[in-house]
Amino acid sequence: MTDAASDSASDAGPHLRLQLHLAYDGTEFHGWAAQPGLRTVQGEIEAALARVLRLDRPPRITVAGRTDAGVHARAQVAHVDIPPAAWGHALGWRRGASRPDEAIGLLTRRLNGVLGPDVRLKSIGLAPEGFDARFSAIARRYCYRISDTPASRDPVERGHVLWHIRPLDVSKMHDAAARFLGEHDFAALCRPRPGASTVRRVLEASVHRVGCGGPEADGGRIEIWVEADAFCHSMVRSMAGALVAVGEGRRPVEWIDSVLASSERESAANVLAPHGLTLEAVKYPPPAALAATAQAHRAVRGPLH
């Protein structure tokens, strides 16, 4: 249980915190965050929880990383606090069901039964002590996929891969991506929020050409992999846009250094279309470090980060 007050349930007092692992196709969603009158991932899941758990109002979900409209996720993580009465209701769904794993399994199936096919709860569990889906996370990993040759354009994957009209030099893009590694101010590649820092630590930045049978010298799609402690708004799509500028030969590899040194928005680093981007993983420290990590990140980032 968590004894923190929560605005996510109708009952006062302590709540049970659940950890949710989910995936979604962002094509038909207006992003993660709930917005009045628009279909969002958060809105859909909160409504499903309220319906299945018979809550007076939808609970509030906290997510590891908000995704923009059209962006996909294979491994999103979230948490939600629910009142004990709702948990008791879940336990009572099946006669004699007293084990938490039984109730969780049934809750997962019920929720997926009312959700649309473009969002799936892969698993639900009782959150470990101190777990916060957003502030306990130590890294998020994204992949941006591009097809730059006719042979690599698969109509089946068109909603998840950007079709680029000009061939790209993957070797130069990979060399340029390495310049993003480490801690930098990404002000030139972000849409900053008031009062929020744009400094991030990039842990991985690589570009590869891959095909159905593995890496290929020619043909196959391009994958841009980026992992960081956190991301600011549009950061990954702007990084990918900068790498495309290098891959097309419009900018040299060294140009990335000047972009990172600038505090002004870089117009040559186009924000690429959202459908090529997928959240692939969220990473957390060992259970014993969850609470301390969350406390440290909350102090640095604050509510607007």
Q: Choose between 87 and 53: higher pLDDT.
A: 53
pLDDT above 80 (res 184): yes
Q: Which of 135, 139, 122, 133 is nearest to 225 (CA)?
A: 139
- Percent of the chain at pLDDT exceeding 70: 86
pLDDT at residue 111, as a whole number:
94
pLDDT at residue 11, as a whole number:
44
pLDDT at residue 105, as a whole number:
79
pLDDT at residue 95, as a whole number:
47
pLDDT at residue 75, as a whole number:
96
User: What is the spatial distance between Cα 284 and Cα 297, in angstroms, rounded to a whole number?
Assistant: 12
pLDDT at residue 191, as a whole number:
81
* Beta strand pairing call for 162-163 and 139-147: parallel
Q: What would the 3-class secondary structure string for 196-264 be?
A: CCCEEEEEEEEEEEEECCEECCCCCEEEEEEEECCCCCCHHHHHHHHHHHHHCCCCCCCHHHHHHHCCC
Distances (CA, A) of 118 to 22, 41, 70, 114, 285: 11, 9, 12, 12, 29
Q: How confident is the model at residue 54 (pLDDT cuts 50, 70, 90)?
A: confident
pLDDT at residue 175, as a whole number:
98
Reported pTM: 0.89
Q: How confident is the model at residue 291 (pLDDT cuts 50, 70, 90)?
A: very high
- Per-residue model confidence as pLDDT tens digits over 55-87: 889 999 999 999 999 999 999 999 999 887 777
Give span(s): CATH 3.30.70.580, the chain.
Answer: 16-135
Give span(s): CATH 3.30.70.660, the chain.
Answer: 139-282
Residue 142 parent element (H or E):
strand 139-147
pLDDT above 80 (res 129): yes
DSSP at 15: B
Q: 174: which residues sit within 8 A by CB, 6+ positions away?
A: 206, 207, 208
User: What is the spatial distance between Cα 113 and Cα 121, in angstroms, rounded to a whole number?
Assistant: 10
Question: Do 302 and 195 contact (CB within 8 A), yes or no?
Answer: yes
- Across the range 77-106, mean pLDDT stands at 72
Backbone φ and ψ of 73, nearest 5°: -145, 130
User: What is the spatial distance between Cα 82 and Cα 52, in angstroms, rounded to a whole number?
Assistant: 12
- Across the range 247-257, mean pLDDT stands at 96
User: What is the spatial distance between Cα 134 and Cα 77, in angstroms, rounded to a whole number?
Assistant: 8
Q: Which fold has domain 16-135?
A: Alpha-Beta Plaits (3.30.70)
Q: What is the CATH number of domain 139-282?
A: 3.30.70.660
Q: How confident is the model at residue 14 (pLDDT cuts 50, 70, 90)?
A: confident
pLDDT at residue 101, as a whole number:
67
Question: Do 208 and 222 contact (CB within 8 A), yes or no?
Answer: yes
- Across the range 170-181, mean pLDDT stands at 98
Q: Which residues are catalytic?
A: 68
- Per-residue model confidence as pLDDT tens digits over 207-234: 999 975 444 455 689 999 999 999 998 9
Question: Do 112 and 121 contact (CB within 8 A), yes or no?
Answer: yes
pLDDT at residue 193, as a whole number:
77
Give me 147's structure tokens: 């097809």
